[in-house]
Amino acid sequence: MNNDEVIHETPLVVHDLGHEAHTHHHKETFITKYVFSQDHKMISKQFLITGIIWAVIGGLFSVIFRLQLGYPDQTFPFLEDILGHWGKGGKIDPEFYYALVTMHGTILVFFVLTAGLSGTFSNFLIPLQAGARDMASPFLNMLSYWFFFLSSVIMFSSLFVQTGPASGGWTIYPPLSALGEASDGAKMGMDLWLASIAMFIISVLLGGLNYISTILNMRTKGMSMTRMPLTIWAFFFTAVLGVLSFPVLLSAVVLLLFDRHLGTSFYLSDIVINGKILPNQGGSPILFQHLFWFLGHPEVYIIALPAMGITSEVISVNSRKPIFGYMAMVGSFFAIASLSFMVWAHHMFVTGMNPFLGSFFVLLTLLIAVPSAIKVFNWLTTLWKGNIRFTPAMLFAIGFVSLFISGGLTGIWLGNSSLDIHLHDTYFVIAHFHLVMGVASMFGMFAGIYHWYPKMYGRYMNNTLAYIHFWVTIAGAYCIFWPMHYEGLAGMPRRYYDFSNWESFKMFGGLNEFISVVAMIVFSVQLLFIFNFFYSIFKGRKVTTTNPWGANTLEWTTPIRPGHGNWPGEIPEVHRWAYDYGKDGRDFIPQTEPVGADEQRH
C-alpha cells in the first residue's frame, strides 16, 4: 500500500483537481453545502453559530438571576410575562432560580466553551494550518456536529418541560439529582440533562478522534510537529483531554441514570425523603464526585487550552515577533494536560476526604502554577518591545492574558486545602473560575473570531463596534467579578437565592446591585458583537488580499474564499516554523518559503 492510500482509505473528491483554480467541481446542493456539510470550514461555522445562540441563552439566564440577586426586594412584572409560573408576581421562583444557575453553568461550560470554542476553531484551523484538504474523516466530523445538535435540541427542550430544567448546579451531585422526589429540577429535566450530555460526549469523542488523527496523520510535507503553530498544539492536547476524560463522565451519567430508573444504589445509601425511608443501601454520593471531577477538572483545560493556543498565535502575529519560548510553550501544554488528570480531588477537599490524601492533591494542584506561569511570561515577553498592532483580536488576546493572571492567582489560594475550608462554595470560587476560565476563554474565543473572521467569511468585522465591545467587556468583567472576591472572603455562599436575611451579608446589598447593573451592560454589549458578527457576514468590508494580517501560517496561502479542499492546486510544502517575524530585516516570512542559504537560524 503506498502512502497515499495509507493516509486516505477512500480518495478524497478533491484529489483529481489537478491545477484548476476552481474548486467547486463536485455538485453541491443547499443541503450538502450548508446543512449536512462535510467541509470542515462549514462544520466549524455551524459549531460557532450554534455556540453563539447558546451563549445568548446562557448569558440571558445570568442576567435574569442577577436581577434577583441585585434587587431581592423588588418585583419585575415582565418576568411573569416571559417566564409564566416561574416568575409569578414578577419574582423568580426559588426552584427556578436554582434551575437558572444550573443551566447557565451547563450551557456555558459545555455548549459554548467546549463545543463553541474547541469545536469551532479545531475544525476550522487544524486542516488549514496543518495543511490538509479536510479532516481525516469528514463524515465523522459531520456526525460530531449533528450529535452536538441533537444534544442541544434535548437540552433546549428541557427548558420547556412543566417541572423545569435540571437544577442542583451544573455538577448535578447525587443524591439530589438521583431522586425525582427531591425537587422539581430532579424530575424530567434531569433525565433530559443526562440524555443531552450523553449525546454531547459522543460528539466530543467523534470530534476529538478526528482532530488527533488529522494532526498526527495528515500534516503536509515539511510540517513536522515542532513546526506546527501553537494553536494546533493546543487543539491536539484539548482533543486528547476530551477523548480521555469525557468517557468517565459517560460512566458517571450511566450509573446515575440506573440509580434514577432501575432501582440500583450506586450513589445512594441511608436516605429518608419526605418521611419515607428508601431501600437503597451501600452506595456513595462521593463516588459520583470522583467520577464527575475526573472529567470536570480536565474539562477546565479543554476550555482553556484552545484559548491559550489562539492567544499565542494572535499575540505573535500582532507583535510582529516570534513567540517567545516555543518549545517551553509546547512543554507547558503537555505539563498542563498531564497534571490536569491528577488534581480532580481539589474540588472535593471538604467532602470528608482524608487530609493526608488531600495534601498530595494540593501539591499537584499548585504544580500547575508552574507551566501556567511559563505561558504567561512567554506571552508577556512576546509582547515586550514588539511592534504591536492593536487590532480587536490583539486586544482580546491581551485581555485573555490579563484575566488569566488575575483569575489564575486566586487558584493558588483555592488549591490549598486549608484555605479551601473557608473559601469553598463562596463567591470567591465564582470570581476565580469566571475570570480564569469563563471570561478569559470567552476572550480567547473573541480573539479567534476577530482574527480569523476574514478567513471564515471573506469580510472584516466592524472595528469601531469591536473596540466598544472590547473595552466595555474587559472593564465590565473586572467590575463584575473583582468585588465577588471580597464577598467570598466574607463568607457569602454561592447559589443562594436571597442574602438580605443575613445580617453579615446585608452590607453587600449595594455591591450586588452594582454587579447586576454591570452584568446587564456587559450582556447588552455582547448583543452588539452579535450584531457586528451577522451584519458583517453580509455587509462587512471585503477582504482583498489573501494575507490581511501578514501572518506566516498556511491558512493565509489559500484563496480568500477557499472551497472544499482548501487549496486549488497542490497543498503547499512547509519549510520553516510558523514564527519567523522580524527576521533578517523582513517583517514576516511565510512557512511556505524555503530557508535561504545565508539565513540566520532562529
Partner 1 sequence: METALTRTKSQLWSGGKSPYNVSYGKLMMWFFLMSDSFTFGAFLISYGSIRFSLNNWVDHNYVFNKFPLTGEANLPLAFVSLMTFILIFSSVTMVLAVHEGHKMNKKGVEKWMILTILGGLAFLTCQAWEWTHLITSRHKVLVDGVIQYWGTTTSHNPWGPHVMFNGEMVATPGPVAFGGYFFGITGFHGFHVFSGVVINLVMLIKTKIGDFQKRGHYEMIEKAGLYWHFVDLVWVFVFLCFYLI
Instruction: Note the residues at the interface with partner 1 (CB under 8 A).
Output: 1, 3-9, 131, 133, 136-137, 140, 205, 208-210, 212-214, 216-225, 227, 243-248, 250-252, 254-255, 258, 262-266, 279-284, 287, 290-291, 294, 570-571, 573-574
Least distance in angstroms from the C-beta of 204 to partner 1: 10
Shortest distance, position 343 Cβ to partner 1, whole Å: 17
Name which of 448, 447, 555 is nearest 130 in CA terms. 555
**Residues sharing a CB contact under 8 Å with residue 254, sequence separation 6 or more, in sequence order:** 198
Nearer to partner 1, 241 or 525 (CB): 241
Between the alpha carbon of residue 502 and those of residues 73, 212, 267, the distances in Å are 14, 52, 33
Strands 276-277 and 581-583: unpaired
Dist. CA 41–CA 43, nearest whole Å:
5
Q: DSSP class of residue 266?
A: S
Beta-strand pair 586-588/276-277 = unpaired
Nearer residue to partner 1 within complex by CB, 221 or 561 = 221
Minimum distance from residue 528 beta carbon to partner 1 (Å):
40
Between CA 516 and CA 70 the distance in angstroms is 5
> What is the Cβ-side half-sphere exposure of residue 62, based on CA atoms within 13 angstroms?
24
With respect to partner 1, which residue has the nearer C-beta, 153 or 225? 225
Q: Rg of the Cα trace of the chain?
A: 24
Instruction: Considering the complex, state which of residue 251 and residue 387 has its C-beta at the smaller distance from partner 1.
Output: 251
**Which residue lies nearer to partner 1 by CB, 2 or 29?**
2
As measured in angstroms, the least distance from the Cβ of 429 to partner 1 is: 26
Say if CB 104 and CB 171 are below 8 A apart.
no
Residue 225 or 527 having the CB closest to partner 1: 225
φ and ψ at residue 586, rounded to 5 degrees: -105, 145
Q: What minimum distance in Å lies between the beta carbon of 458 and partner 1?
A: 26
Of the pair 55, 215, the CB lying nearest partner 1 is at 215
Nearer to partner 1, 522 or 578 (CB): 578
User: Which is nearer to partner 1, 211 or 533 (by Cβ)?
Assistant: 211
**Grid cell locating 562:** 477557499
CB of 255 to partner 1, least distance (A): 7
In the complex, what is the shortest distance from the CB of residue 3 to partner 1, in angstroms, rounded to a whole number? 5
1/597 with CB nearer partner 1: 1
- Closest to partner 1 by CB, 341 vs 486, is 341
If the CB atoms of residues 266 and 379 are measured against partner 1, the closer one turns out to be 266
Residue 409 class from Cβ within 10 Å (0-12 exposed, 13-18 middle, 19+ buried)?
middle
Q: What is the dihedral of CA 42, 48, 51, 57, to 10 degrees?
A: -110
**Residue 238 near residue 306 (C-beta atoms within 8 A):** yes
* Minimum distance from residue 284 beta carbon to partner 1 (Å): 6
Q: Whole-number minimum distance, CB 183 to partner 1, in Å?
A: 23
- Separation between Cα atoms, residue 587 and residue 574, nearest integer Å: 18
User: What is the rounded distance in angstroms from the CA atom of residue 484 to the CA atom of residue 508?
Assistant: 10
Taking the complex as a whole, the smallest distance from the CB of residue 467 to partner 1 amounts, in Å, to 39
Q: How far is the CB of 266 from partner 1 (least distance, A)?
A: 6
166 contacts 158 by C-beta, under 8 angstroms: yes
Cell output for 444: 480567547
Query: Which DSSP category does 578 fall into?
Result: S
In this structure, what are the phi and psi dihedrals at residue 582, rounded to the nearest 5 degrees? 60, 40
Q: Which three cell numbers stand for residue 120?
A: 469551532
- In this structure, the chain runs to a length of 602
Q: How far is the CB of 421 from partner 1 (least distance, A)?
A: 25
Residue 453 near residue 560 (C-beta atoms within 8 A) = no
Give the helix ranges, DSSP H, for 346-439: 355-367, 369-383, 392-414, 417-423, 427-433
Strand partners, 581: 588
